[in-house]
Structure 1
Amino acid sequence: MKRVNIVSLKLVKESSMLYKEHCVRSPEHGYQLLKQFLGEVDREYFLVVYLDIKNQPTAINFCHIGA
């Protein structure tokens, strides 16, 4: 028999930021949100932006940072 780990993933609020637009209406709005968040980075980032039903951003989650 092999032991299998049981794990869970929990979200923890690390910080917050202000976004001048109220909702994400276009790819340009999404770009402006992430540009403000990431700034000038030297690696590839895989992010998830959580939106509510009115397309208002509620959270940003780092999924992976490239090598």
Structure 2
Amino acid sequence: MTIEEVLDFFDNAKITKKLQQLVDVGLSYMTLGQSLTALSGGEIQRIKLAQALNKKGNIYIR
């Protein structure tokens, strides 16, 4: 299942928030259980970006 498919499956707000972060940075095509060694450098950067955007107290200006 892709991240986007799983997002429709779960009702738990805590889970859907984390999945939505991955969708927001363009990783909706990834599958659950995908090995970290199978990710490209750009995909790893986008995961880190999603984590950074979720931290409280940060302000990002575009």
User: What is the TM-score normalised by the length of structure 2?
Assistant: 0.28
Greater Rg by CA: 1
User: What is the TM-score normalised by the length of structure 1?
Assistant: 0.27
Which has a greater percent of helix? 2
